[in-house]
Structure 1
Amino acid sequence: MDTRNGTRSSNQPQLRINVPSSARERAASVDPYGFERSEDFDYESYEELMSEYLAVLTRRSIKWSKLLQGKRRVDRNLRVKRFVRKGVPNEHRPLVWMESSGAQDRMERNPGYYHSLLDQQHDPKLVESIRTDLHRTFPDNVHFRRSADPCLQSALYNVLVAYGHHNKAVGYCQGMNFIAGYLIIISKDEETSFWLMEALLGRILPDYYGPAMLGLKADQEVLGELVRLKVPAVWRLMQDHGVMWSLVVSRWFICLFIDVLPVETVLRVWDCLFYEGSKILFRVALTLIRHHQDLILQAQNLPDVCERFKRITRGAFVHDCHAFMQAIFLDPGSLSKSTVAKLRESCRARIVAGES
């Protein structure tokens, strides 16, 4: 898509992004996904961590290749679930995400649908909203700069416009650009990114986006209820200082931890999100809060609480994505789908009653 005139070229080259993998390239000023590292980036600690994690990635890649054996299908069983929790190698992520989320089936049942959305007349208001956010999407990523070849702003525009026409009830709202951007970086394909986004926003996270954002609001309240049950001291602190959960965790849920946690950690969370569903978001949030409850409990006022909730998403605990993902399945304890479903129902009812 040429975003300047809104037309799609039928002979547009397939999107390709080179993702470096060597230790030398990983230590560069730009990470493997194109994000520039901050000036205070701790290269020494990162290299120490990656020297161990790269060995883990190599073992996982070999095991995944044996598991898939060249197949284009991903089974749903305890063995695959265990594999997903231990991490999906980048080369297999598009396939695993598409298969486990049902996006592959949806795409195969609707051949040509994505391109038909791009070929139709575009809603001017939708286009204006999307174009406004294009330059705000990952300004620290070299692939999203106009000078990049290819410039991923073009692919991002396509995916967002197509989704806006596909789901007119949602259209476009802020936060969706970051999700689409991550999907494009990993899948390296517009149509795949569109169908993964359709799975996320349509089935895995219903009602998260759009005017009412009822699902998003409810899940923030669900987290509050889970904290009350599992980390009661933090819940009491929030009550004492009158801090609404939406004030400190809305960005976690809206952006699915993008720009909140390190890239590798976010991708590991997304592996499980596509395979196991939205319950994973609560496990991540609860683990962050539970692991850092002593720090949070030192807060003396509302600004203190907000500052500590920002601080708990940084540091060694979240950078070691392998250890962090092990923690999210241990630290929060039991978290059944039925418990989450009941809490969602009650929180939704409370929100609707309060807004009526």
Structure 2
Amino acid sequence: RLEEVPLEVLRQRESKWLDMLNNWDKWMAKKHKKIRLRCQKGIPPSLRGRAWQYLSGSKVKLEQNMGKFDELDLLTGDPKWLDVIERDLHRQFPFHEMFVSRGGHGQQDLFRVLKAYTLYRPEEGYCQAQAPIAAVLLMHMPAEQAFWCLVQICEKYLPGYYSEKLEAIQLDGQILFSLLHKVSPVAYKHLSKQKIDPILYMTEWFMCAFSRTLPWSSVLRVWDMFFCEGVKIIFRVGLVLLKHTLGSSDKLKSCQGQYETMERLRALSPKIMQEAFLVQEVIELPVTERQIEREHLIQLKKWRETHGELQCKSPPRLHGAKAISEAEPAPRKALESVPSIFVSPGPAPVPKARKSKEKSREKGPASPANGPGAEGNGAPGTTRELLQPQASPHHHSKESLSSRESEDTYL
């Protein structure tokens, strides 16, 4: 059940988020902590898709690669991947109205996004866990934006997770297990005694960013924090679930063996997954990026001793929005929002101060090139051009929710 937020509070949050999104580079540079706090409170549903694009840096990525998705969209793709993707389409949120019908717009866009990724990263191809990730994104934004958001998740937030050997996820399983020793020694001891490898219970959690595990309202809140703070949120959620499932002798009475323990982890208690409880626990759990990175080096050393060098050379992961924006500083223009409605300005107000009158006399009448129309929202010629379909970079995709109208719906 969704946590009820009073309408007035929601409207206030929307107003604050609109201000942030319209001045995003300034907020990222000077008030990142405030962005983090607001992500922890939950992004307003009406702005969630747009906020995820800004947080992940996918908006800037799209601006830097205009037309790239359309180009990939027109290519046929590798039949090896297309068959697997096709088979997975109906499995993603089958009861959601977007994905309920075979060949419906949701399944078509999901196919297009996943196919485009196999062409964008042919060495990586397609991994089944990418499908639920892409599906969640498509519920919040058009196909082109969802594609670039998926790219950021795969390359910046969770690099190596979807490569063939799944080395990165195995390493993170060991990191999770090591962190559990500090968070819940009881759960750690029990899993060690039962010889249950982390890969058996955490693979779907981490690779699907809990989208197939938690109730929907909790998924959205976890993703809000994940896009802002990075993979540590995924670790924290995993640790909270383990702690509250296996973290006391009382809880362990009913799962003495390996089979019972695995069954318990597959059927988690709804109480611990409930939005308000889970989010609060995640916020309060003191697991930091530094701890994760320190543990990563330890586990990497152990891996090399037992398995040799990693076969998949992934870029280093970036811990959230701040790290991504610092690694790829956005040109200011890339973050300008494109207005959907253009209003012709009225006559310019007559300045009251004598000083400004004198200035205007000295300058003479403004030429049309310098007038309000040329600057942005005004001149009729400019407005007509901007309202033409080709002004939007999302207009060339077929059977897609990527038209100007749908962009308004999402953003």
The one-letter code of the counterpart of 1:341 is E
Q: Which residue does 2:236 correspond to in 1?
A: 283
Deviation sequence 1:189-218 (CA, Å, 0-9, x none): 001110110110111000001212221111
**Structure 2, gaps ≥5 residues long:** 309-411
Are 1:233 and 1:297, in contact at CA under 8 Å, matched by a contact in 2?
Answer: no
Distance in 2 (CA, whole Å) between partners of 1:216 and 1:124 is 27
CA distance in 2, matches of 1:56, 1:249: 35
C-alpha distance in 1 between matches for 2:290 and 2:298:
12
The structural deviation recorded for 1:318 is: 1.6
Query: Is the Cα–Cα contact under 8 Å of residues 60 and 88 in structure 1 kept in the other structure?
Result: no
Quick check: 1:183 aligned with 2:137? yes
- Count of equivalent residues: 300
Identify if the C-alpha distance between structure 1 residues 81 and 243 changes in structure 2 by more than 3 Å, giving closer, same or farther. Answer: same
Which residue number corresponds to residue 299 of structure 2?
A: 347
The answer to whether 1:311 aligns with 2:311 is no
C-alpha deviation, 1:139, in angstroms:
2.4
Q: Which residue of 1 aligns with 2:177?
A: 224
Query: 2:75 — aligned with what?
Result: 120
Letter in 2 for 1:178: P
The answer on whether the counterparts of 1:178 and 1:255 sit within 8 Å (CA) in structure 2 is yes
Whether the 8 Å contact between 2:21 and 2:51 is mirrored in structure 1 is no
Could you tell me which residue of structure 2 aligns to residue 327 of structure 1? 281
Displacement, 1:84? 0.5
C-alpha change, 1:57 and 1:170, in structure 2 (3 Å) is farther
Aligned partners of 1:107 and 1:195 also within 8 Å: yes
Structure-1-length-normalised TM-score: 0.79
Cα displacement (A) at 1:296: 4.6
Larger Rg: 2
TM-score normalised to structure 2 length: 0.69
| Matched residue, 2:46 | 91
Stretch moving more, 284-293 or 271-280: 284-293
Query: 1:215 touches 1:348 (CA, 8 Å); kept in 2?
Result: no
Deviation at 1:98, TM superposition (A): 0.8
Quick one: which of 177, 196, 201 aligns to 1:243? Answer: 196
2:16 maps to what in 1?
66
1:143-184 per-residue CA deviation (whole Å, 9 max, x = no partner) reads 213268x53110000000111111122110111111111110
Shift in alpha-carbon separation, 1:158–1:249, aligned structure 2, 3 A: same
After TM superposition, the structure 1 stretch with the greater mean CA deviation from structure 2, 55-64 or 133-142, is 55-64
Please list the CA deviations of residues 96-133 of structure 1 after superposition, one character each: whole Å capped at 9, or x if unmatched. 11111111111111111111111224212121221121
Given that residues 244 and 272 in structure 2 are in contact (C-alpha distance below 8 angstroms), is that contact kept between their aligned partners in structure 1? Answer: no
Which of 108, 113, 123 lines up with 1:169 in the alignment? Answer: 123
Moved more, 72-81 or 246-255: 72-81
Q: Is the 8 A contact 1:296 1:308 kept in 2?
A: no
Q: What does residue 268 of structure 1 align with?
A: 221
Show structure 1 runs of 5+ residues with no match: 1-45
Q: CA offsets per residue over residues 287-320 of structure 1, 9 Å max, x none?
A: 11223323653321101111221233x313322x
C-alpha distance 289-60 of structure 1, shift in aligned 2 (>3 A):
farther
- Give the 5 Å matches for 1:16-165: 46=1, 50=2, 53-56=3-6, 59-69=9-19, 71-74=21-24, 75-76=27-28, 77-146=32-101, 150-165=104-119
Distance 2:91 2:17 in 1: 40
The ranges of structure 1 where at least 4 consecutive aligned residues each deviate by more than 4 angstroms after the TM superposition are: none
Q: Partner amino acid for 1:182?
A: V
Q: With CA pairs under 8 Å and 6+ residues apart, which has the higher RCO, 1 or 2?
A: 2
**Cα offset for 1:326?**
1.5
Cα separation, partners in 2 of 1:133 and 1:58, compared to 1, 3 Å: farther
Maintained 8 Å contact 1:234/1:296? no
Secondary structure of 1:304's aligned partner: helix
Report the Cα distance in structure 1 between the residues aligned to 2:7 and 2:59, rounded to whole angstroms: 25
Greater CA drift, 289-298 or 214-223: 289-298
Return the alpha-carbon distance in structure 2 between the equivalents of residues 227 and 71 of structure 1.
37
Alignment deviations for residues 224-251 of structure 1 (CA, whole Å, 9 cap, x no partner):
0000122111111111111111112211
Amino acid at match of 2:233: I
- Cα distance in 1 between the residues matched to 2:240 and 2:295: 19
Q: Quote the Cα distance in structure 2 between the aligned partners of 1:134 and 1:67.
A: 33
